[in-house]
Amino acid sequence: MKPKHQRLVLALVALVALISATLIAASALREEASYFYTPSSLQAANIETGKAIRLGGMVKPGSISRSDDGTTVLFTVQDADASIDVRYRGITPDLFVEGSGVTADGRLAANGDFVADNLLAKHDENYIPRELADMDMHAAQKTGESLSEDGTAK
């Protein structure tokens, strides 16, 4: 075989390998991706039970309750229009308090509640997710600040 044909075959093999690797990576990401929802967008979407999703919103004041086993926490996540009950088993982050922002990775249960596998609390009192920027934040009230329409503190 001529060197020109060898280079062509090598280039075609490399192209097929690159396309195969891209398809395998895309397939793996599709199976592991979790989409972000707020409570109102979650209620509007038709999500199947057991599908991995990410829920974000504010912890409703007065909604946190801990069960007798000491590791199960029940609370409500809300946004401007809706709320959803969440059950989490594990140690909560230090910044997880009522009125704070939270992101929970987990799945919808058959009864419509959200079962969280992982919780992430907001990192400081000025952080507000873009989707919730128009809400009156409990942390902003404690510091005497309020949010403007563009999401910045006044």
Asked if 69 and 46 sit in the same domain, the reply is: yes
Residue at 151 is within a domain: no
Q: How many CB atoms lie within 10 A of CB 26?
A: 10
Count: domains in the chain: 2
Can you give the pLDDT at residue 36? 83
Can you give the pLDDT at residue 138? 53
Residue at 43 is within a domain: yes
H or E element at residue 36: strand 35-37
Per the prediction, the chain carries an average pLDDT of 81
Asked if 82 and 60 sit in the same domain, the reply is: yes
> pLDDT, tens digit, for every residue of 41-85?
888 888 888 888 899 999 999 999 998 888 899 999 998 889 999
- In 79-136, the DSSP E strands lie at 83-89, 101-108, 114-121
Asked if 11 and 41 sit in the same domain, the reply is: no
The pTM score is 0.61
Asked if 84 and 21 sit in the same domain, the reply is: no
Can you give the pLDDT at residue 147? 45
Asked if 23 and 60 sit in the same domain, the reply is: no
Instruction: Give the tokens for residue 74.
Output: 């029940």
| Alpha helices, DSSP H, located in 63-151 | 138-143
